[in-house]
Amino acid sequence: MDSGMVSKIEKARRYAEDRGRVRFVQFEVSLRGDNSAHTVRFNQGVWECGCHFFSQRGVCSHTMAMERILAGMLPEAGPEEEPAPSAS
């Protein structure tokens, strides 16, 4: 393996260990509930879920589960928060 690749692998390891570098901006997942799978989206600090409960309350067990899974990795200040600077 060449030294350039070794350097990139080491950098990737450091980045992965420092979770504070990562802030999710948007994503979509399928979360398998007790009765069926639900599409959960996060976009610019806003949650969305395709389940009936979410459409009535704006929150549901699926979005709350994702918040727990990603604790500390989601922006708290809202969509105006700048992502962590990236170093190449």
Q: DSSP states of 8-41 as a string?
A: HHHHHHHHHH-GGG----EEEEEEE-SSSEEEEE
Predicted local distance difference test score (pLDDT) of residue 85 = 52
Could you tell me where the beta strands, DSSP code E, fall in 44-87? 46-49
pLDDT tens, N- to C-terminus, the chain (88 residues) = 788 999 999 999 999 999 888 888 899 999 999 999 999 999 999 999 999 999 999 999 999 999 999 888 887 644 444 545 555 4
Say how far residue 12 (Cα) sits from the centre of its chain: 18
Whole-structure pTM value: 0.71
Predicted local distance difference test score (pLDDT) of residue 69 = 92
Tokens of 83: 């992502």
